[in-house]
Chain A
Amino acid sequence: MSNIQVDAGRLNPKATSKRHRTQAGGRASLALVSLLFLTPALLFYGVFELWPIIQTIWYSLYEWNGIDASTFVGLQNYVTVFTDPDLYGSILHSFILILFFSVIPIALGLVIAALIKEIKSKTASTFAQVCLFLPRVIPGAAAAVAWTWMLADKGTVNQMLRAIGLGDLAHVWLGDQSTALAAVGVIGFWLQLGFCIVLLLSGMGSIDQSLYEAASLDGAGWWRQLFSITIPGLRGQIGVCLTMTIVAALASFDVVYMSTQGGPGRSTMVPGVAVYRLAFTEQSVGLASALAVALMILVLLVVGPLQRLVNGKRG
């Protein structure tokens, strides 16, 4: 930290001329200079991140159509969020999506990454990585449209099922309340898997190879090595994967909006789509804000402890 002090002193002519400053004074002016450097970034953060959040919290206390005069309603909007089955139902759906967006991609990603690592040919392993990472490059909205066709009555998925004699299982996947949420989840799984694999692979590279050698000498098999060496060694990467994918699940919007718009019925409604609909279609900005704030707090409640769990054990 001392070099920062020197730099700051050099940049501030007054500080260099008055070398007899008390330490407290120097520290204060250093803080001031540092703050000055931080100001542009802080300003952006304040205007585009903090201020909208404050505004949303403020709006959530009002009944407001977004244009005309508003009425203060206190916490009434929050009461509605947690008593209206359509609204809290949407939150429950997003928790189910965690299974598809987060748990399955990470579990499968671990196995696939471990398998890719075994591939001896450099070309083949790169090819496999690129193939698996590709979905990540496609915008969620575009992926959702493509999957809508594939999951349709005469789409690719059903064609394949019929081709292998499983025609009885063919389904209008997005058009049935019992399968729609899972079908949306599959789209999310497809989008998140590549990200998890690439991140986990990079983590595996930094695990000491001698551990594997020692383990195999002791007679540990592939699965044993995965559970005893790879997974503990990837704690940090798994933490990042979990955080990113869980946030993607809880705050999902594009995939659902483009594939089902929350239907059939309300079977795939998620908070992201509900907030959009309340604010812009129903002109209930207050209620939409309350749902958004509730969602934000939920995301923090889920992701916060996760960070502690992952970082705490490492430190």
Chain B
Amino acid sequence: MKIGTYMSSRVLKATAAMLGVACVASLAACGPGSSGQNTSSAEAVSTDLGDTKYELTLWDGAGLKTYDDALIAAFEKKNPNITIKATYDPDNVSQQNGPRIISSADAPDIARITDINSAVRGKHLTNLDDYSKAYGWNLPDSQTEVYRVDDSGKIGSGSLYAIPSGISMTGMYWNSAVAKKLGITEAPKTVSELEKDMAKAKSAGVLPMVMPAKEGGTSYIYQSLLVNNEGRDSVQKWILQAEGATFDTAGAVQAAQTIQSWQEKGYFSDDALALDGSTAVSRFAKGDGLFFPSGSWYSATLNESLGSDVGFFAYPGNASGDEASAAANAVSAFGIPANAKHKNAAAAFLNFLTTDEARQIAVDHGYPPIGSGTAPSTDNALLTQILAAYQDLVKSGNTTDFINNATAGMQASAIIPNFQQLLDGSMKPEAFAKAIQAQYEKEVK
């Protein structure tokens, strides 16, 4: 036993000394993560790639694989000297991995930008202004606004850092067969018409609105009410973290009151708080429920299951004549990391995204295309309605980014829990607006 004790005390001492040295060494050195380096070679901006062979890498979320692969195939056909190798991360972790991937020394040449704020602030992205000028990109402001950053690091205007591959937009699905039985023949054009239709459904024993609140699905319809009350610009300013922007407004409280009153009137199912997005869409696809506030991403699923019984309309304004609204942003916003090796070739791919061919591919995969021209054709009847709604919204400019994206932690730490508390009545609308703003202030400094 003697040796055992002797040994263990020695080992302990040695370990303690080792740890001590390590601690001091690391504390004496500068803080973690300060050794930011930029390994890229300076490459003069050019749209002429000649015959040089390029092998590019692209990174995106796994859910977009078929879409991206189609874009890449079409691009490679046009540019035989460029090949693109794509890697995909599962969608539920791409948000977390994104910042690390674009900042790594061997960053991909083309990457989904998951958090424009930290990406630009950390100087991890290539400024695309020169490419934009050289290629003559001409996208509507509403589609690039959130990918523009000025010299002071403020989003909303200034230099361009990413190009969307297609558009994701929110809106309302409705089951027109269920509606017909209730005597409703037209999609509601104002919020009060929507409320009247829901009251009709409720009294007929039909679920008025499928509401997946487990994962924050309440925010889409809420955001439209917020835009109706507060105006598009003030909501977008808040999302873009403009100076002095606040969520704690009369319009936000009022929108929260409206949502809470719908819950009190029984317009949502009892299990709304435990209902996730995929269960919700399968319920609506089976014919349960009159309205389903969601987004363009379900068009293929719902077109297939409900056919001509399903329709889509943009969230209506408060009064007749008011503009409809939607939250819309990129399916994937592609940027060129600062550490990318072949920036000119990567820019050629971004340029390809703006062409009619790429726009057709977007529609073929169920996404509204970027740009403002006539939408390409599709045999998905539901998508045709979505494209028409989006074209009107591009014209009116009444779209914002998603409030869920205002900060990195907004969705998980504020939108999901606070909407749940609003719905089950444990939080007052005033407290709700304050709680969202509190999370915002925690992260925006």
Q: Does A153 contact B (CB under 8 A)?
A: yes
Q: Given A68-B118, A152-B271, does the pair A176, B416 have CB atoms closer than 8 Å?
A: no
**Of the residues A30, A57, A58, A174, contact of B274 by C-beta under 8 Å:** A174
B124: which A residues are within 8 A, CB to CB? 67
For the complex, is B7 an interface residue (Cβ under 8 Å from A)? yes
Q: Most A CB atoms within 10 A — which of B3, B15, B270, B421?
A: B3
CA distance A277 to B414 in the complex (A): 12
- Nearest residue in B to A262 (C-beta to C-beta)? B417
Q: Are B2 and A153 in contact (CB under 8 A)?
A: no
Would A282 and B416 count as touching, CB distance under 8 A?
no
A–B pairs, 13, beta carbons within 8 Å? A4-B3, A31-B10, A65-B33, A65-B122, A67-B33, A68-B36, A172-B271, A263-B273, A264-B417, A265-B418, A265-B426, A281-B408, A281-B413
Contact with B along A54-71 (1 / 0, CB 8 A): 110111011011111111
Top 9 A-B pairs, shortest CB-CB distance: A175-B274, A282-B409, A70-B31, A175-B273, A153-B271, A264-B420, A280-B96, A68-B122, A265-B421
Select A277's contact among B269, B272, B412, beta carbons within 8 Å.
B412
Partner of B424, one of A34, A55, A153, A265: A265
Residues of chain B from 268 to 314 with CB closer than 8 A to chain A in the complex: 269-275
> When chains A and B are docked, how far (Å) is the Cα of A164 from the Cα of B426?
31
Interface string of B1-33 (1 = CB under 8 A from A): 111101100110011001100110011000111
Asked whether A177 is an interface residue with its Cβ less than 8 Å from the other chain, the reply is yes
> Is B34 at the interface (CB under 8 A from chain A)?
yes
Contact A54–B273 (Cβ < 8 Å): no
| One of A58, A176, A277, A283 near B27 (C-beta < 8 A) | A58
Q: Please, which residues of chain A bring their CB within 8 A of the CB of B4? A: 1
Given contacts A67-B118, A176-B273, A280-B96, contact A58 B6 (CB under 8 A): no
Q: Check A54 against B118 for contact (C-beta < 8 Å).
A: no
Q: SS class of chain B's interface: helix, strand, loop or mixed?
A: helix
A5 interface residue per 8 A CB criterion = yes
Does A266 count as interface, using CB distance less than 8 angstroms? yes
| Contact A59 B7, beta carbon cutoff 8 Å | no
Chain A contact residues, CB within 8 Å of chain B: 1, 4-5, 27, 30-31, 34-35, 38, 42, 46, 50-51, 54-55, 57-59, 61-62, 64-72, 86, 148, 152-153, 172, 174-177, 261-266, 277-278, 280-285
A223 to B214, CA, bound (A): 45
Within 8 Å by CB of A27, from B3, B274, B275, B408, lies B3
- In the bound assembly, the distance between CA atoms of A176 and B270 in angstroms comes to 10
Q: Which residues of B are found within 8 Å of A172, using beta-carbon distances?
A: 270-271, 273-274
B376: Cβ under 8 A from any A Cβ: no
Contact between B413 and A70, CB atoms less than 8 A apart: no
Enumerate B310-360 residues with CB–CB distance to A below 8 Å.
Answer: none
Q: In the complex, A62 Cα to B7 Cα: how many Å?
A: 37
- Bound: A277/B2 CA distance, A: 48
Q: Which of A31, A69, A71, A284 contacts B6 (CB 8 A)?
A: A31
> B53 within 8 Å of A by Cβ?
no
Task: Give, as a whole number of angstroms, the nearest-CB distance from B340 to chain A.
Answer: 17
CB-nearest residue of chain B relative to A173?
A: B274
Pick the contact of A175 from B118, B214, B408 — CB < 8 Å? B214
Q: Do the beta carbons of B424 and A70 come within 8 Å of each other?
A: no
Q: Is B95 positioned at the interface, with any CB of A under 8 Å from its CB?
A: yes
Interface residues of B in 21-66 (CB under 8 A from A): 22-23, 26-27, 31-34, 36
- Contact flag A54-B424 (CB < 8 Å), given A31-B7, A31-B10, A264-B417: no
Residues of A close to B443: CB separation below 8 A: 282
- CB pair A176 B424 closer than 8 Å: yes
B interface residue count range (under 10 / 10 to 19 / 20 to 34 / 35 or more):
35 or more
Q: Whose C-beta in chain A lies nearest to the C-beta of B104?
A: A67
Please determine whether B270 and A153 come into contact, CB atoms closer than 8 angstroms. yes
Q: Max chain A CB contacts within 10 Å: which of B6, B14, B32, B269?
A: B32
Chain B neighbourhood of A280, CB < 8 A: 96
A7 to chain B, nearest CB (A): 12
Given A58-B32, A277-B413, 4 other A-B contacts at CB below 8 A? A59-B32, A86-B413, A153-B270, A283-B408
Is B196 interfacial (CB-CB < 8 Å)? no
* A176→B421 CA distance, assembly (Å): 10
Asked whether, in the complex, the Cβ of A64 is within 8 Å of the Cβ of B31, the reply is: yes
Residues of chain B within 8 A (CB-CB) of A264 are: 213-214, 273-274, 417, 420-421, 424
In the bound complex, CA of A30 to CA of B3 (Å): 9
Q: Does B103 count as interface, using CB distance less than 8 angstroms? A: yes
Are the CB atoms of A35 and B11 closer together than 8 Å? yes
Q: How far is the CA of A86 from the CA of B421 in the complex (A)?
A: 14
Instruction: Tell which of B1, B2, B215, B424 touches A177, judged by Cβ atoms closer than 8 Å.
Output: B424
Q: Which residues on the B side are within 8 Å of A54 (C-beta)?
A: 19, 22-23, 26
- Inter-chain contacts of B18 with A (CB < 8 A): 46
- Asked if B121 CB lies within 8 Å of chain A CBs, one says yes
B251 interface residue (CB < 8 Å to A): no
In angstroms, Cα B32 to Cα A284, docked, is 13
How far apart sit A288 and B63, CA to CA, in the bound complex (Å)?
29
CB contacts (< 8 Å) of A27 on chain B: these are 3, 6
Q: Is B85 an interface residue (CB 8 A)?
A: no
Whole-angstrom distance between the alpha carbons of A55 and B215 in the complex? Answer: 33
Once the chains bind, are B19 and A64 in contact (CB under 8 Å)?
no
- Are A70 and B33 closer than 8 Å at their CB atoms? yes
Q: Mark B91-116, 1 if CB is under 8 A from A, else 0.
A: 00001100110010000000000010
Residues of B within 8 A of A57 (CB): 23
Contact B11 A67 (CB under 8 A): no
B96 and A281 form a contact (CB under 8 A): yes
Residues of B within 8 A of A148 (CB): 274
Other-chain residue from B23, B31, B115 in contact with A69 (beta carbon distance below 8 A): B31
Known contacts being A68-B118, A264-B417, is A153 close to B34, with CB within 8 Å?
A: no
Q: Closest CB-CB distance, B405 to chain A, in whole Å?
A: 12
* A282 CB contacts on chain B under 8 angstroms: 407-409, 412-413, 443
| Cβ contacts under 8 Å, B103 to chain A | 67-68
Contact string, B215-232, partner A, CB cutoff 8 A, digits 1/0? 100000000000000000
- Beta-carbon contact of B274 and A50 below 8 Å: no
A283→B117 CA distance, assembly (Å): 12
Residues of B within 8 A of A68 (CB): 33, 36, 103, 118, 121-122
